[in-house]
Amino acid sequence: MEKQFFFDADTPDPDRVDGRAKVTGSARYFAEYTLPDMTYGVLVTSPVTKGRIKALDTKAAEKAPGVIAVLSHLNKPSVPGYEAPPAEGRGPGMRIFYTDKIYFNGQPVALVVADSFERATYAATLVRAQYEKEEFRTDFDANLDKAVAPRAPGAAEYKRGNIDAYKNAEVQLESEYFIPTEMHNPMELHGILAHWESPEKVIMYAKTQGVKATQQTVTNLFKLQAQNVQVFSEFVGGAFGIALRTWPHEVATVMAAKMVGKPVKLVLTREQMFTMVGYRPQAKQKLGMGATKAGILTGITHEAIGQTATYDEFTEGIVNMTKFMYACPNVNTRYKVLPLDVCVPIWMRGPGEATGAFALESAMDEMAYRLGIDPVEFRIRNYAETDPQRNQPFSSKYVKEAYQMGADKIGWSKRNPVPGSMKNGDWQVGYGMSTGVFTAGRGGATVRAVISDDGMLLLQSAVSDIGPGTGTAMVKIASDLMGMPFEKIRFELGNSSLPPAPSQGGSSTLSTVGSAVNDACLALQEQLAILAGQKTFAGKTKQDIVFSNGRIGLKNEPASAIGYAELLRQNNTPAVEVTKDSRQGEAARKYSIYSFSIHFVEVNVHPATGVVKVTKIVSVGDAGTIVSAKTAASQMIGGAVGGIGMALTEEAIMDHRFGRYVNHNFADYHVPVHADVPHVESLFINKPDPIINPMGAKGMGEIALIGFSAAVANAVFHATGKRIRSLPITPDKILQTKAV
Give the active site residues. Answer: 702
Rounded least distance, CB 646 to other proteins, Å: 13
Dist. CA 530–CA 365, nearest whole Å: 60
Our finding on whether 130 is near other proteins (CB under 8 A) is no
The residue type at 323: K
Give the residue with the Cβ less far from other proteins, 457 or 603. 603
Give the residue with the Cβ less far from other proteins, 414 or 674. 674
Phi (first) and psi of residue 80, to 5 degrees: -55, -40
Rounded least distance, CB 690 to other proteins, Å: 44
Our finding on whether 673 is near other proteins (CB under 8 A) is yes
CA 121 to chain centre: 32
Give the residue with the Cβ less far from other proteins, 654 or 703. 654
The residue type at 169: A
Give the residue with the Cβ less far from other proteins, 49 or 512. 49
CB contact at 8 A, 89 and 337: no
Residue 470, helix vs strand vs coil = helix
Our finding on whether 670 is near other proteins (CB under 8 A) is yes
Rounded least distance, CB 267 to other proteins, Å: 14
Give the residue with the Cβ less far from other proteins, 87 or 675. 675
Among 201, 611, 615, 726, binds other proteins (CB under 8 A): 611
Using CB under 8 A as the binding rule, the residues of this chain from 475 to 504 that contact other proteins are none
Rounded least distance, CB 733 to other proteins, Å: 8
DSSP class of 226:
G
Rounded least distance, CB 109 to other proteins, Å: 13
Using CB under 8 A as the binding rule, the residues of this chain from 236 to 275 that contact other proteins are none
Contacts of 546 (CB under 8 A, 6+ apart): 483, 552, 553, 554, 555, 561
Rounded least distance, CB 645 to other proteins, Å: 9
Rounded least distance, CB 664 to other proteins, Å: 8
Our finding on whether 142 is near other proteins (CB under 8 A) is no
CB contact at 8 A, 463 and 513: yes
Contacts of 345 (CB under 8 A, 6+ apart): 278, 279, 280, 281, 306, 307, 308, 309, 314, 316
Give the residue with the Cβ less far from other proteins, 34 or 665. 665
Q: Tell me how crowded residue 490 is: count the other CB atoms within 10 A of its CB.
A: 17
Give the residue with the Cβ less far from other proteins, 78 or 665. 665
Stretch that binds other proteins, among 316-324, 348-356, 656-664, 701-709 (CB under 8 A): 656-664
Among 19, 47, 66, 563, binds other proteins (CB under 8 A): 47
Stretch that binds other proteins, among 69-77, 151-159, 233-241, 725-733 (CB under 8 A): 725-733
CB contact at 8 A, 280 and 182: yes
Rounded least distance, CB 126 to other proteins, Å: 12
Dist. CA 736–CA 740, nearest whole Å: 13
The 554-593 site mask, x for binding other proteins (CB under 8 A), equals ----------------------------------------
Our finding on whether 55 is near other proteins (CB under 8 A) is no
Among 660, 698, 722, 725, binds other proteins (CB under 8 A): 660
Contacts of 194 (CB under 8 A, 6+ apart): 202, 203, 204, 250, 253, 254, 256, 257, 263, 264
Using CB under 8 A as the binding rule, the residues of this chain from 674 to 713 that contact other proteins are 674-676
Our finding on whether 649 is near other proteins (CB under 8 A) is yes
The residue type at 192: I
Rounded least distance, CB 610 to other proteins, Å: 7
Among 125, 413, 534, 549, binds other proteins (CB under 8 A): 125
Rounded least distance, CB 278 to other proteins, Å: 21
Strands 157-160 and 331-340: antiparallel
Give the residue with the Cβ less far from other proteins, 82 or 274. 274
CB contact at 8 A, 567 and 445: no
Q: String of b and e for 252-272 (b: at least 16 CB within 10 Å)?
A: bbbbbbbbbebbbbbbbbeeb
Our finding on whether 1 is near other proteins (CB under 8 A) is no
CB contact at 8 A, 594 and 439: yes
Dist. CA 127–CA 124, nearest whole Å: 6
CB contact at 8 A, 265 and 41: yes
The 146-165 site mask, x for binding other proteins (CB under 8 A), equals --------------------
Our finding on whether 662 is near other proteins (CB under 8 A) is yes
Rounded least distance, CB 277 to other proteins, Å: 19
Give the residue with the Cβ less far from other proteins, 418 or 662. 662
Stretch that binds other proteins, among 160-168, 435-443, 558-566, 669-677 (CB under 8 A): 669-677
Stretch that binds other proteins, among 226-234, 298-306, 402-410, 657-665 (CB under 8 A): 657-665
Rounded least distance, CB 186 to other proteins, Å: 18
The residue type at 454: D
Our finding on whether 738 is near other proteins (CB under 8 A) is no
Among 160, 409, 569, 613, binds other proteins (CB under 8 A): 613
Q: What is the secondary structure of 145-163 as a DSSP string?
A: GG-B--SSTT-SEEEESST
Among 98, 158, 178, 658, binds other proteins (CB under 8 A): 658
Our finding on whether 672 is near other proteins (CB under 8 A) is yes
Residue 175 belongs to what H/E stretch? strand 171-179
- Cα separation values, 55 from 41, 48, 129, Å: 21, 13, 6
Q: What is the secondary structure of 311-323 as a DSSP string?
A: SS-----TTTGGG
Stretch that binds other proteins, among 81-89, 372-380, 392-400, 607-615 (CB under 8 A): 607-615
Q: Which of 305, 315, 318 is nearest to 356 (CA)?
A: 318
Burial class (CB in 10 A: 0-12, 13-18, 19+), 73: middle
The residue type at 637: I
Residue 491, helix vs strand vs coil = strand
Give the residue with the Cβ less far from other proteins, 289 or 648. 648
Among 43, 255, 545, 648, binds other proteins (CB under 8 A): 648
Stretch that binds other proteins, among 279-287, 343-351, 493-501, 610-618 (CB under 8 A): 610-618
Rg (CA), the chain: 27
Among 1, 538, 559, 667, binds other proteins (CB under 8 A): 667
The residue type at 413: S
Give the residue with the Cβ less far from other proteins, 93 or 731. 731
Give the residue with the Cβ less far from other proteins, 500 or 731. 731
Residue 725, helix vs strand vs coil = coil
Give the residue with the Cβ less far from other proteins, 448 or 670. 670
Dist. CA 642–CA 349, nearest whole Å: 9
CA 639 to chain centre: 10
Stretch that binds other proteins, among 94-102, 530-538, 624-632, 665-673 (CB under 8 A): 665-673
Dist. CA 163–CA 167, nearest whole Å: 9
Number of chain residues interacting with other proteins (CB under 8 A): 29
Our finding on whether 417 is near other proteins (CB under 8 A) is no
Burial class (CB in 10 A: 0-12, 13-18, 19+), 668: exposed
Rounded least distance, CB 426 to other proteins, Å: 8
Our finding on whether 668 is near other proteins (CB under 8 A) is yes
The residue type at 648: L
Dist. CA 716–CA 414, nearest whole Å: 17
Contacts of 246 (CB under 8 A, 6+ apart): 208, 213, 214, 217, 218
Residues near other proteins, by CB under 8 A: 47, 125, 608-611, 613, 648-649, 653, 655, 657-658, 660, 662-663, 667-668, 670, 672-676, 730-732, 735-736
